[in-house]
């Protein structure tokens, strides 16, 4: 097998069931949950060292967190193509766009389609089943990977397996895709030995996918192709035609194509499922996150500054302060600077209802963390009161904020570490550690970090209105309005 394997990372989704750690504008795939890498970075590393894997993945993502994704790729030295979806349209259109990109200039690689928010502990085992899947994908099959179930899980869809592929001792034909079952049905599935969990992982040649989607959902292909044909390059990003993509129907890979493949319809390619046992989890909710973490003798898993006393089967996660848990059983306690969640681990699927309530109340905790990432670095709103706000700001080396002005607030800047280059009206000057400057209301200004180390500073805002929409941009390196 000499065909190139191009990883396609699907980086959509908001991860609402992992609130408050996951937020709509900074979802779980961008978070470091299991080790030092974010889930996205761990996904990008998953094929490192595999002989035929391309080092230039295709990442399909929401426009909202494009700069964070670009930075996370840069940290890994990856030169991937980042395709921006103007609106979310599920996985089938996303894969179709990736296939169109991969097929540029007549190329026809095998696409390894991976959600960005899954955990796989055993990378070697994963690469071995990928090698098995690549054999079938190269021959024109659409391959998926089924997780060997270890319990009657009701939160996953299932794949019923058929006969073994004659050329393989591992791979199986796909007999049927089935929906998430109730507990009794899930028990029957696991006991039968004929069902695997649907992982959402796929392998298929670019040309094979385009032919399959043309047969099953020509409306998706037409809209995706229309948006692709008018795409524009914007620095590190590929921007699709917004209106054309908005007209694309929303559908998943399973519904759009795989169910038709399993039913043997028309002239569709064959479907193959390869069983996977590699410590997989979709980390879809706090109970599944608890399962992938190391636990003590009484089933407690902790992250951060946590004290556990007399607890059993507890997940305790702290991000910003001491968290003490006493006498708890089967609970998840999740602390962030602006919100705390305490929930029965049997009810973790219901966290999304909390997020829905926050949205109905127009509360910002559904959308963003207190710490907000920007293309130039980040800021953290550490205190706020009537007519004032205090922010901790970190600017990356060489980065520059937009040239801007505020109608309703003035700002004091105090440099903690590093050196700031400040533009204030017609002046340009440096502000060093332990020095400060003042930006009056209505004055055009800009902040840059000319150094090789991060610039850290404290900003004190004062005025009648302190919202983030009180920014008039005159010039921006990142193309923001």
The domain ranges of the chain are 5-281, 286-360, 371-475
Q: What is the pLDDT of residue 1?
A: 52
Q: Where are the beta strands (DSSP E) in 321-395?
A: 323-326, 331-336, 339-344, 371-374, 377-385, 388-395
* Cα 114 from Cα 147, distance rounded (Å): 14
Report how far residue 210's alpha carbon sits from residue 204's, in angstroms, rounded to the nearest whole number: 10
Question: What's the burial of 480, exposed, middle or buried (CB within 10 Å: 0-12/13-18/19+)?
Answer: exposed
* pLDDT in the model for residue 481: 72
Distances (CA, A) of 140 to 135, 218, 273: 9, 20, 14
Three-state DSSP state, 128: helix
What is the SS3 assignment for the chain? CCCCEEEEEEECCCCHHHCCCCECCECHHHCCCCCCCCHHHHHHHCCCCCCCECCCCEEEEEHHHHHHHHHHHHHHCCCCEEEEECCCCCHHHHHHHHHHHHCHHHCCCEEEEEECCCEECCHHHHHHHHHHHHHHHHCCCEEEEEECCCCCCCCCCEEEEEEECCCCCCCEEEEEEECCCCHHHHHHHHHHCCEEEEEEEEEEEHHHHHHHHHHHCHHHHHHHHHHHHCCEEECCEEECCHHHHHCCCCCCHHHHHHHHHHCCCCCCCCEEEEEECCCEECCCCHHHHHHHCCCCCCCCEEECCEEEECCECCEEEECCCCEEEECCECEEEEEECCEEEEEEHHHHHHHHHHHHHHHHCCCHHHCCCCEEEECCEEEEEEEEECCEEEEEEEECCCCECCEEECCCEEEEEEEEECCEEEEECCEEEEECCCCEEEECCCCCEEEECCCCCCEEEEEEEEECCCCCCCCEEEECCCCCC
User: Phi/psi of residue 391, each to 5°?
Assistant: -120, 145
Q: Which CATH class is domain 371-475?
A: mainly beta
Could you tell me which of 426, 419, 412 has the C-alpha nearest to residue 398?
Answer: 419
The predicted pLDDT at position 50 comes to: 86
Q: Retrieve residue 167's tokens.
A: 């050329």
Q: Please state, in angstroms and rounded to a whole number, the distance separating the CA atoms of residues 177 and 256.
A: 12
Tokens 């230039």: give the residue. Answer: 56
Q: What is the pLDDT along the chain (481 residues), one digit of tens a residue?
A: 568 999 999 998 778 999 999 999 899 999 998 878 999 999 999 999 888 888 889 999 988 889 899 999 999 998 889 999 999 999 999 999 999 999 998 999 999 999 999 999 999 999 999 999 999 999 999 999 999 998 898 889 999 999 988 777 789 999 999 989 999 999 999 999 999 999 999 999 999 999 999 999 999 999 999 999 999 998 789 999 999 999 999 999 999 999 999 988 888 999 999 999 999 999 989 999 999 999 999 999 999 999 999 999 999 999 999 999 999 999 999 999 999 999 999 999 899 999 999 999 999 999 999 999 999 999 999 999 999 999 999 999 999 999 999 999 999 999 999 999 999 999 999 999 999 999 999 999 999 999 999 999 999 999 999 998 999 999 998 887 7
- Phi then psi for 127, rounded to 5 degrees? -65, -30
Identify which of 337, 348, 374 has the alpha carbon closest to the alpha carbon of residue 476: 374
Chain Cα centroid distance, residue 21: 13
Question: Which superfamily, per CATH, for 5-281?
Answer: Spore Coat Polysaccharide Biosynthesis Protein SpsA; Chain A (3.90.550.10)
pLDDT at position 308 is: 97
Question: Is residue 395 a contact partner of residue 376, using CB atoms and an 8 Å limit?
Answer: yes
Enter the DSSP assignment of 316.
E
């Amino acid at each position: 097998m000499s065909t190139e394997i191009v990883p396609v990372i699907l980086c959509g989704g908001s991860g609402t069931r992992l609130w408050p750690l996951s937020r709509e504008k900074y979802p779980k795939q961008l978070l470091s949950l299991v080790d030092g890498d974010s889930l996205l970075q761990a996904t990008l590393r998953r094929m490192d060292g595999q002989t035929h894997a391309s080092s230039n993945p295709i990442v399909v993502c929401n426009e909202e967190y494009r700069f964070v994704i670009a930075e996370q790729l840069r940290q890994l030295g990856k030169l991937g193509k980042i395709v921006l979806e103007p609106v979310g349209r599920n996985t089938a259109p996303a894969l179709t766009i990736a296939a169109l990109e991969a097929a540029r200039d007549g190329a026809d690689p095998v696409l390894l389609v991976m959600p960005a928010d899954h955990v796989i502990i055993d990378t070697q085992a994963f690469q071995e089943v990928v090698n098995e899947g690549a054999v079938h994908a190269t021959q024109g099959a659409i391959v998926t990977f089924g997780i060997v179930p270890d319990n009657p899980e009701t939160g996953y869809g299932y794949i019923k397996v058929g006969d073994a592929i004659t050329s393989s001792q591992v791979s199986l034909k796909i007999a049927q895709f089935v929906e998430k079952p109730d507990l009794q049905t899930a028990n029957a599935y696991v006991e039968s030995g004929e069902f695997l969990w649907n992982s959402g992982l796929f392998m298929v040649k670019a040309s094979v996918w385009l032919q399959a989607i043309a047969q099953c959902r020509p409306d998706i292909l037409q809209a995706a192709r229309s948006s692709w044909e008018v795409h524009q390059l914007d620095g590190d990003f590929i921007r699709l035609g917004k209106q054309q993509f908005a007209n694309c129907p929303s559908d998943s890979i399973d519904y759009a194509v795989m169910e038709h493949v399993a039913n043997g319809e028309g002239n569709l390619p064959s479907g193959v499922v390869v069983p996977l046992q590699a410590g997989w989890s979709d980390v879809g909710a706090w109970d599944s996150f608890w399962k992938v973490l190391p636990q003590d003798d009484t089933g407690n898993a902790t992250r951060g500054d946590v004290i556990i006393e007399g607890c059993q089967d507890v997940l305790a996660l702290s991000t910003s302060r001491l968290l003490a848990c006493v006498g708890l059983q089967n609970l998840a306690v999740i602390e962030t600077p602006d919100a705390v969640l305490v929930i029965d681990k049997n009810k973790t699927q219901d966290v999304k209802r909390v997020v829905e309530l926050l949205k109905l109340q127009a509360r910002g905790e559904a959308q963003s963390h207190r710490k907000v990432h920007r293309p130039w670095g980040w800021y953290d709103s550490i205190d706020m009161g009537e007519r004032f706000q205090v922010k901790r700001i970190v600017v990356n080396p060489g980065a520059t904020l937009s040239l801007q002005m505020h109608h309703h607030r003035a700002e004091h800047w105090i440099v903690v570490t590093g050196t700031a280059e400040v533009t204030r009206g017609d002046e340009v000057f440096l502000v060093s550690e332990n020095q400060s400057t003042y930006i009056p209301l209505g004055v055009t200004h800009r902040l840059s970090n000319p150094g090789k180390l991060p610039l850290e500073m404290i900003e004190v805002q004062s005025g009648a209105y302190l919202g983030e929409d009180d920014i008039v941009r005159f010039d921006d390196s990142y193309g923001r309005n």
